[in-house]
Amino acid sequence: MKWISGAVQTGLALIAVAFVIGAISACGGNSEAAPDSPEETARVFAQAVVDGDGKTACGLFSKAGIEEITKQGNPPCAQQLEQAVGEISDADRDRVESATYELSRESDGKYTVIATDGEGNTRRIQIVEEDGEYKIVP
């Protein structure tokens, strides 16, 4: 796990309480329609991570996240997610699947979504609006 970027390691810590905010390199966008709200973006991202769907998860990161990880020379996002998914417990998967997502704050295209799992653990997820789509900020 040492080769996984710091941002993905941070994400693994968050997934332990249901939510991942990871890192990215250029791995392409997703082919499905973009989520239509910050809350849905957080939900789709978390589910994609636990499902091992790197294409969808990686396609939901902000441009700043892409640039940060690309310049660090880390493995591609999808490869990092494959490694991370192998380390996610069934209990953590259940937490992600039972989580609720609520918009907490909005200001100038920046959003904070509060994610709460079935045990009451919460995490703040930062999201920005880029080119008319909502993107995760690692």
Give pTM, 2 decimals: 0.72
CATH architecture assignment, domain 6-136: Roll (3.10)
For residues 107-127, average pLDDT: 92
How far apart are alpha carbons 60 and 58 in whole angstroms? 5
Return mean pLDDT, the chain.
Answer: 75
Q: How many whole angstroms from its chain centre is CA 4? A: 15
Where are the domains positioned within the chain? Answer: 6-136
pLDDT above 90 as % of the chain: 33
For residues 19-34, average pLDDT: 43
Choose between 7 and 64: higher pLDDT.
64
Say whether pLDDT at 22 is over 60: no
Please compute Rg for the chain using Cα positions: 13
Choose between 85 and 28: higher pLDDT.
85
pLDDT of 135 reads 95
The residue whose two tokens read 């939510």 is 19
Using 50, 70 and 90 to split pLDDT, how confident is the model at 38? Answer: very high
How far apart are alpha carbons 126 and 12 in whole angstroms? 16
For residues 3-14, average pLDDT: 43
- pLDDT tens-digit readout, 72-103: 777 777 777 777 777 778 888 888 889 999 99
Q: How many CB atoms lie within 10 A of CB 61?
A: 26
pLDDT of 69 reads 63
Q: Which of 102, 86, 120 is nearest to 43 (CA)?
A: 102
